[in-house]
Amino acid sequence: MNRVMASLVLFALLAMPVFGQQNIEQQKIAYLIDSVATLQDATFIRNGTAYDAAHAADHMRLKLRFSGSRIKTAEDFIVYCGTGSSMSGIKYTIRFQDGHSVDSATFLHRRLAEYEARFNNSKP
C-alpha cells in the first residue's frame, strides 16, 4: 500500500466515530423537532404570539438551517434553536390543552432524555 492510500485509510478509520456521532446527533435533533411537530392541542408562544405545533417545528427547522455548523449536538439545538428568540431574548413556552405551560427548553430536555434512555436501553 502506498503512502497516500495508507493516509486515506487511516483518516477514514479515525473519522468514522466522528461521522457516526454526528449522525446520531442529527437523529436526536430530528426526533426533537418531530416531538414538537406532532404535539396535539398544544400552543407555542413565541414573542407573545401563539402558533400551532407545525408552525413551531417549521420555525425550529428554519433556525437550524440558519445556524449552520454551529449546531453539532442535540444540546446545541436546544440552546440555539429551541429555547427562545435570539432577537428579543424572550423564552419560548408551550401551553398544553389542560392549561399548564412549560418552557420549551424544559420540554425538549425531557424529550432528549427519553430518547437517550430508549437508545441506551436498546444496546446489548
pLDDT tens, residue by residue, 21-56: 678 999 999 999 999 999 999 999 999 999 999 999
Q: What is the spatial distance between Cα 99 and Cα 41, in angstroms, rounded to a whole number?
A: 10
Distance of CA 99 to the CA centre of its chain: 25
pLDDT tens, residue by residue, 87-119: 899 999 999 999 999 999 999 999 999 999 987
What pTM was estimated for this model as a whole? 0.79
The residue ranking higher by pLDDT, 69 or 122, is: 69
- Per-residue pLDDT, 74: 96
Closest CA to 107 of 71, 78, 76, 72: 78
Q: Are 51 and 59 in contact (CB under 8 A)?
A: yes
Whether pLDDT at 67 is above 80: yes
Q: Which DSSP symbol is given to 122?
A: T
Sorted by where each begins, the domain ranges of the chain are: 25-121
Q: What is the spatial distance between Cα 64 and Cα 58, in angstroms, rounded to a whole number?
A: 10
